[in-house]
Amino acid sequence: MQAAEFKRRRRQLMGMMGTGSIAILPTGSEAVRNRDVLFPFRPDSDFYYLTGFAEPEAVLVLIPGRRQGEYILFCREKDPAKEIWDGYRAGVEGAVADFGADDAFPITDLDEILPGLMEERERVFFAMGSDPAFDQRVSDWVSQVRSRARAGVHGPIEFLALDHYLHDMRLYKSRSEVATMRRAARISAQAHTELMMRCEPGMHEYQLASLFSHHCEMKGAGQLAYPSIVGGGNNGCVLHYVENSAPLNDGDLVLIDAGCELECLASDITRTFPVNGRFSKAQRTLYDLVLQAQLAAIDKVRPGNHWNDPHEAAIRVLTKGLLKLGLLRGTLSKALKDKSYTRFYMHRTGHWLGMDVHDVGDYKIDGHWRVLEPGMVLTVEPGLYIPTGSKGVAKKWQGIGIRIEDDVLVTRDAPDVLSRDAPKTAEAIEALMAR
């Protein structure tokens, strides 16, 4: 992402904030995995969205109209001794030279400097509730400023939810964001394709998971957007199955929900295919039904339609199909009204996609479903899940979990499927696996 992109975002946010305001946004800190081993660090999405700064222990401050500079970054100082062990630090000099900050200070000086920056600011834009300890620090800074009222110092009188403004910005993807997400989706789609070609009975779920990670890393996407789900057979009926330890058996399907991340932007793709390369009759029947539902849902991803239109299209197709197969009973209207389909399809048909895999942005506005607009990106992911032992269900349907998921961009015209490179028709999958 170019520096101009981050600058544009900061300008847009500060335009909404107006003068007399201050925004405070911390990133995360490194977390201990066990003893002296740390989890891989990933910056806070909101913080990175405005800065492009990926180091831990940093705080962004925006002050519209401040003469000395509107964009201030608190970060770790350079430390040659620590950098030998833990890697390069930008330092306060790099924060200005490389990340466009108007001013920068050591993170250790935050408590000393920030109260002064709050003076004469009427409004504080801050996302309360993410970090109670940092929430308390912000409250303490405000209290410090207010305690100087007798000396003629005026402090903030209003707190505003920063995420309300920022998350609406993040919902609309720029051209550069779309280009990056398209690259991430292409890498993930290629990985899913490779897994189809490499899969065979006797492998284990973790082997496919490792092949997916390897492919993404070899293409420059070193971080996954979320832990991969690789569920063979009945494990595919567990929506967030991440154990990935079981063998892949001849005659079973395997459901793989996996996506890489590029520049903190996610991809999210699910494909389901037969371990041995050939769908059974029952598997094919259910698979084609899910695919039909997905295609109907994708067709509804158009400007002017509302958020729930794709979901309604999917459940209508699924419910009608389940009734025809005898897996549900009654009329279509009653089944839809009673939501009897939730026995086999219990989740929504999609979610926003962006810097977070379940991305930010309101789904309703004033109690009404949000209207889809160009620049929004969402997933479309209907499924069917019929676990082993399901009462009143013929054995041929049991132990089958199917989900088909793509990343879809709302455009001015037809929906743009960013993840189209991953095969998803039964014919295409079987042809690929027969090679």
Q: Is position 403 annotated as part of the catalytic site?
A: yes
CB atoms within 10 A of CB 421: 15
Q: 105 and 144: one domain?
A: yes
Helix %, strand %, coil % of the chain (to 5):
40, 20, 40
Q: Is 257 a catalytic residue?
A: yes
Same domain assignment for residues 242 and 340:
yes
Domain endpoint, select from 140, 170, 200: 170
**From CA 91, how far away is CA 384, in angstroms rounded?**
51
Higher pLDDT, 397 or 157: 397
Residue 299 bridge partners (DSSP): none
Choosing from 278, 347, 370, 420, the catalytic residue is: 347
Task: Judge whether residue 56 has pLDDT over 80.
Answer: yes
Percent of the chain clearing pLDDT 90 (strictly above)? 96
| Beta carbons of 419 and 258 less than 8 angstroms apart | no
pLDDT of residue 142: 92
Cα–Cα distances in angstroms (integers) from residue 2 to residues 53, 177, 276, in the given order = 12, 10, 45
> Cα–Cα distances in Å, from 168 out to 3, 52, 324, 404?
21, 19, 42, 28
Same structural domain, 162 and 239: no
In this structure, the answer to whether residues 329 and 351 fall within a common structural domain is yes
| First vs last C-alpha separation in the chain | 38
From 240, 412, 413, 427, active-site residue: 240
Contact 417, 406 (CB under 8 A): yes
Would you call 268 a catalytic residue per the annotation? Answer: yes
Which one of the listed residues 76, 89, 186, 403 is annotated catalytic? 403
Catalytic residue, from 35, 36, 175, 427: name it: 36
Tally of structural domains, the chain: 2
Which of 46, 55, 205, 257 does the annotation list as catalytic? Answer: 257
Distance between CA atoms of residues 63 and 70, nearest Å: 5
* Nearest Cα residue to 237 out of 202, 272, 198: 272
Domain ends where: 170, 200, 230? 170
Q: Are residues 187 and 256 in the same domain?
A: yes
Q: Is residue 261 among the annotated active site residues? A: no
Say whether both 50 and 11 belong to one domain. yes
Based on the domain organization, do 271 and 396 belong to the same domain? Answer: yes
Q: What is the pLDDT of residue 155?
A: 82
pLDDT tens digits, 351-393: 999 999 999 999 999 999 999 999 999 999 999 999 999 999 9
* DSSP state string for 33-62: EETTEEPPP---HHHHHHH----SS-EEEE
Instruction: Determine the Cα–Cα distance for residues 245 and 226; give it in Å rounded to an integer.
Output: 17
Which pLDDT tens digit goes with each residue over 197-252? 999 999 999 999 999 999 999 999 999 999 999 999 999 999 999 999 999 999 99
Output DSSP code: residue 230.
Answer: E
For residue 39, give both structure tokens.
């989890």
pLDDT band at 43 (very low <50, low <70, confident <90, very high): very high
Provide the sign of the torsion angle of the four alpha carbons 196, 202, 205, 210, taken in this order.
Answer: negative
pLDDT-derived band at 1 (thresholds 50, 70, 90) equals confident
Which one of 358, 362, 363, 373 is the catalytic residue? 358
Burial class for 42, CB neighbours closer than 10 Å (0-12, 13-18, 19+): middle
What is the per-residue pLDDT for 150? Answer: 73
Compute the distance between CA of residue 343 and CA of residue 328 in angstroms, rounded to an integer.
9
Are both 340 and 281 inside the same structural domain?
yes
pLDDT for position 217: 97
Pair 350, 420 in one domain: yes
Tell me how far the alpha carbon of residue 391 is from its chain's centroid: 35
Residue 84 near residue 51, CB atoms below 8 Å: no
| 381 in active site | yes
CATH number of the domain residue 266 falls in: 3.90.230.10
Q: Examine the residue annotation and report whether 385 is marked as an active-site residue of this protein.
A: yes
- Residue 310: is its pLDDT beyond 90? yes
Which of 138, 170, 202 terminates a domain? The answer is 170
Is residue 302 a contact partner of residue 341, using CB atoms and an 8 Å limit? no
150/234 same-domain check: no
Check if 351 is active-site: yes
Residue type, 106: P
CB 109 within 8 A of CB 74: yes
In this predicted model, what pLDDT tens digit does every residue of 326-338 receive, in sequence order?
Answer: 999 999 999 999 9
Longest dimension (CA), the chain: 82
Instruction: Look at residue 120 and tell me whether its pLDDT is greater than 90.
Output: no
Averaged pLDDT, 161-185: 97
CATH of the domain at 79: 3.40.350.10
Could you confirm whether 167 is annotated as catalytic? Answer: no
130 pLDDT band (50/70/90 cuts)?
A: confident
Residues 361 and 373 in one domain: yes
Least-confidence region, from 145-159, 181-195, 328-342: 145-159
User: Residue 271: which domain range?
Assistant: 172-433
Helix or strand holding residue 106 (H, E): strand 103-106
Is 405 labeled as catalytic in the residue annotation?
yes
| Residues in the chain, overall count | 435
pLDDT given for residue 74 in this prediction:
98
Q: What angle do CA 173, 419, 3 make, to 5 degrees?
A: 35
Q: List the one residue out of 175, 76, 157 whose CA is nearest residue 119.
A: 157
261 and 342 inside one domain: yes
Could you tell me if 423 and 429 are in contact, meaning their C-beta atoms sit under 8 angstroms apart? yes
Give the confidence band of 413 by pLDDT, cuts at 50, 70, 90.
Answer: very high
